[in-house]
């Protein structure tokens, strides 16, 4: 009898559900699902091209969130709202874990299946992902080649140029060290932010002071660990990317003209926050 009552109660509560949306916004309208779900246009008609498109579109959506949170974190650090910045960066790391898992799904596609539609891609390649480059810009790695790729789109080119010329997350963190009374060389505080960040002795010593006096610099210490989390997950994403590409196309040249696996292996050694890794040996 209790089970019958539960069913009756559930049925009764469902009578409160809204079913008339003549003058109200639906879930699908709010999310623009008509646009999102009609954007998977296979050029080859091959079954597995749908997987390839969806994985990359989903990854781009996650990257949009990463940029949204990272830019908000930079703004929070500049206002010395370090706890808020830590919250933003924690969300970035969780988002990165979702992108990493996407490679596991793409890895279900075999080399033979990919070859059935690879030629349809032309010269389009993930190497050209402007959001990925904007993430690199936000983390302090600056290269201008992607600016040339998008010269044909003035609005997008302007957004990329703005990101290229902006201070990075690490620049903001270093400035926070300086405002906390820790010595940072003027050449770092006033550096050309369109250049990739290079490690600096004064920055290393400042982070050492933070890690040796965590009670005094607790928020900076927590911020540093969030930065390490972020870079750690980024390296894991790159590693899974490299292994997935190797699994599917071996050492073939990428569709965009890059060396493929060779290029992806090279960027595995790239550092964004070098001093935060170096001090681990010295502590």
Of 151, 126, 146, 135, nearest to 57 by C-alpha is 126
The annotation status of 91 as a binding-site residue, yes or no, is: no
Is 52 annotated in some ligand binding site?
A: yes
pTM: 0.88
| Contact call for residues 206 and 184 (beta carbons, < 8 A) | yes
Tell me the DSSP string of 122-175.
Answer: TT--GGG-HHHHHHHHHHT---SHHHHHTTT-HHHHHHHHHHHHSPPHHHHHHH
Task: State yes or no: 255 annotated in a binding site.
Answer: yes
Annotated ligand binding at 74? The verdict is: no
Per-residue pLDDT for the chain (283 aa), expressed as one digit of tens each? 555 555 455 555 566 777 766 778 898 999 999 999 999 999 998 999 999 999 999 999 999 999 999 999 999 999 999 999 999 999 999 999 999 999 999 999 998 998 888 888 877 777 788 999 999 999 999 988 878 888 889 999 999 999 999 999 999 999 999 999 999 999 999 999 999 999 999 999 999 999 999 999 999 999 999 999 999 999 999 989 888 888 887 866 655 556 668 778 877 888 999 999 999 999 8
Closest C-alpha to 95, from 127, 64, 56, 126: 64
The verdict on whether residue 4 carries a ligand-binding annotation is: no
Q: Is 221 annotated among the ligand-binding residues? A: no
Closest by Cα among 254, 266, 23 to 125: 254
Confirm or deny that 77 is annotated as ligand binding. Answer: no
């Amino acid at each position: 009898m209790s089970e019958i009552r539960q069913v009756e109660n559930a049925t009764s509560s469902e009578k409160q559900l809204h079913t008339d949306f003549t003058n109200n916004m639906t879930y699908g309208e709010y999310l623009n699902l008509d646009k999102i779900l009609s954007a998977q246009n296979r050029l080859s008609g091959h079954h597995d091209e749908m997987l390839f498109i969806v994985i990359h579109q989903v990854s781009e959506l996650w990257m949009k969130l990463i940029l949204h949170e990272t830019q908000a974190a930079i703004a929070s650090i500049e206002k010395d709202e370090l706890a808020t910045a830590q919250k933003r960066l924690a969300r970035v790391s969780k988002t990165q874990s979702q992108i990493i898992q996407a490679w596991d799904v793409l890895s279900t596609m075999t080399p033979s299946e990919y070859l059935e539609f690879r030629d349809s891609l032309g010269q389009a390649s993930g190497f050209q992902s402007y959001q990925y480059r904007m993430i690199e810009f936000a983390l302090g790695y600056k290269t201008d080649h992607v600016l040339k790729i998008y010269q044909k789109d003035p609005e997008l080119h302007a957004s990329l140029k703005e990101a290229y010329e902006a201070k990075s997350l690490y620049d903001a963190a270093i400035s926070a060290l300086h405002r906390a009374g820790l010595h940072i060389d003027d050449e770092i505080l006033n550096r050309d932010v369109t250049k990739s960040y290079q490690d600096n002795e004064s920055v290393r010593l400042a982070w050492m002071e933070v890690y040796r006096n965590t009670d005094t610099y607790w928020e900076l210490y927590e911020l540093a660990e969030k930065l390490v989390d972020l870079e750690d997950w980024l390296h894991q994403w790159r590693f899974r990317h490299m292994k997935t590409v190797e699994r599917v196309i071996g050492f073939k040249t990428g569709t965009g003209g890059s060396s493929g696996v060779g290029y992806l292996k090279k960027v595995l050694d790239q550092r964004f926050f070098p001093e935060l890794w170096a001090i681990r040996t010295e502590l």
